[in-house]
Amino acid sequence: MMFRPQYFTPIHSSLAIEVHRMPDDASIMVAGVPTFGPCLRRHVWSIQAPFRCYQRRWAQVHDVRFVATHQRSDVILSRYKDKLDQKAKEKGLNNVDELKQVYSEKIQELRQKAIVPGANAPLDAQQSQPAPAPEAVATSVPFQAPPPPSPQEATADAPKVPKSKDGVKTLGSFVDVDKIAELPHKEIETLWRLRHVRDAQSLCAVMHAETYGRVAATARKHPQFILPLPREGQGAEIHFLQWTFPSPTTATVLFTHLAEYKLRGEFAQPHTTVTHHLDLARRGKGLVLLEGRVMENRGVTVDEGKWLLMCLQKFYGFEARTEEAKNGVQRRKKLMEMFSGGDEGFKVEELLEEAERV
């Protein structure tokens, strides 16, 4: 026999009761026992909360920086009301409103100049601002980012230095080592200096292999040190030096402003770089060729770079022959040991005295 289910409004919004009216002769089995009567079944419609409130949200996006960092104009006016009233009386005006009308053009001009979208005005303020003229960009746009650096053009006078395959500029990057090794010492020194004479920012020198041996031995013991650079009328400027040995035939020393090294650490840019080339010394010529460069606009001149290089040799490889010179070597050696060991007794005044001592 066919029958239709009738639905009643549920008491709980998450439950619904469906009642089937069945004929008298209908029966169902409950645990194997026949029963008669209406059958109730519950269906779970949803597991959501029983009462949900639906509402429309009218969201708006505000520039929080502008809202949070700028006070209302009426608060500012109330703070300076007495001064504004005094200024209005001096101009022969009745109240502040008349004063604002007199200076309305100037106030509007100052407001337009002070607008920085995203800092003191909403981000869309820049759309309402007219584009500044190219010649007035530097003055009309505050906090303008500097233009990207243009690639340094190679001058016609400076010779081009080819790079070696391993990325390190060896002696073969500058001269033909096989040919120059056959020349006497005097001609090697002359050719080496002529090789760098057209570059005004370059440093070059020729060192005896014996002197370099003393310098290298000290450099491996004290790979870091500081040297003073006297400034006339300004005391002395301290510079940080660091040794590196990138290849078996090269040794490089980097000079950096101590203040910049403290600020940037290993990311500090050196202002002077000097490299020692050992190719000729290994071929029995007894010479080590030095080449370096002083970077432009880094606060150090070429002559000051030469002074730092001579001071470096004085501390790292000075040959003492007299008794007084031997005492000086011991004093400089002690200063280097104190610096490398982090001794609190290290004094810059003593370092400056030794550097200026003849």
Distances (CA, A) of 63 to 60, 73, 112, 117: 10, 18, 19, 10
Residues near 351 by beta carbon (within 8 Å), at least 6 away in sequence: 226, 227, 228, 335
**At 14, is the pLDDT very low, low, confident or very high (cuts 50, 70, 90)?**
very low
Q: Which of 248, 256, 186 lies closest to 194 in space, CA to CA? A: 186
Question: pLDDT band at residue 218, thresholds of 50, 70 and 90?
Answer: very high
State the DSSP H helix or E strand holding residue 137, giving kind and residue range, or none if neither: helix 137-140
Which pLDDT belongs to residue 145? Answer: 58
Residue of 177, 65, 200 lying closest to 125 (CA atoms): 65
Output 43 or 197, whichever has higher pLDDT. Answer: 197
For the beta carbon of residue 44, count every other beta carbon within 10 angstroms.
8
**Token pair recorded at residue 206:** 């020729």
Least confident of 82-96, 127-141, 231-245: 127-141
For residue 132, the model assigns a pLDDT of 53
How confident is the model at residue 201, as a pLDDT?
Answer: 93
Predicted pLDDT of residue 203:
94
Beta carbons of 168 and 270 less than 8 angstroms apart: no
By CB atoms closer than 10 A (0-12, 13-18, 19+), residue 26 is middle
Please tell me the predicted confidence (pLDDT) of residue 184.
93
Of the pLDDT bands very low, low, confident and very high (cuts 50, 70, 90), residue 8 is: very low
Q: What is the mean pLDDT of residues 83-97?
A: 83
Model confidence band, residue 166 (pLDDT cutoffs 50, 70, 90)? low
322-348 pLDDT, tens digit per residue, is: 888 889 899 999 999 999 999 989 999
User: What are 172-194's pLDDT values in tens digits?
Assistant: 889 999 999 999 999 999 999 99
Examine the pLDDT at 113 and tell me if it is beyond 90: no
What is the pLDDT confidence band of residue 108, given thresholds at 50, 70 and 90? confident
Q: For residue 21, what pLDDT is reported?
A: 46
This prediction's pTM:
0.54
Torsion of CA 63, 66, 67, 72, to 10 degrees: -150
* pLDDT at res. 78: 77
Contact 357, 328 (CB under 8 A): yes
Over residues 102-127, the mean pLDDT reads 71
Question: Residue 309 contacts by C-beta under 8 Å, 6 or more apart in sequence?
Answer: 203, 205, 272, 274, 290, 292
Predicted local distance difference test score (pLDDT) of residue 325:
86
- Describe the crossing of helices 302-317 and 209-221 by its angle, rounded to 10 degrees: 80
Q: Residue 151's pLDDT is what? A: 59
Looking at the predicted structure, is the pLDDT value of residue 61 above 90? no
Sequence-distant (≥ 6) Cβ neighbours of residue 318 within 8 angstroms? 325, 328, 329, 332
Asked if the model's pLDDT at residue 20 lies above 50, the reply is no
Residue 33 has pLDDT above 50, yes or no: no
Rounded mean pLDDT of the chain? 76
Query: Looking at per-residue confidence, does 162 or 90 come out higher?
Result: 90
**Counting beta carbons within 10 angstroms of the beta carbon of residue 168, is it exposed (0 to 12), middle (13 to 18) or buried (19 or more)?**
middle
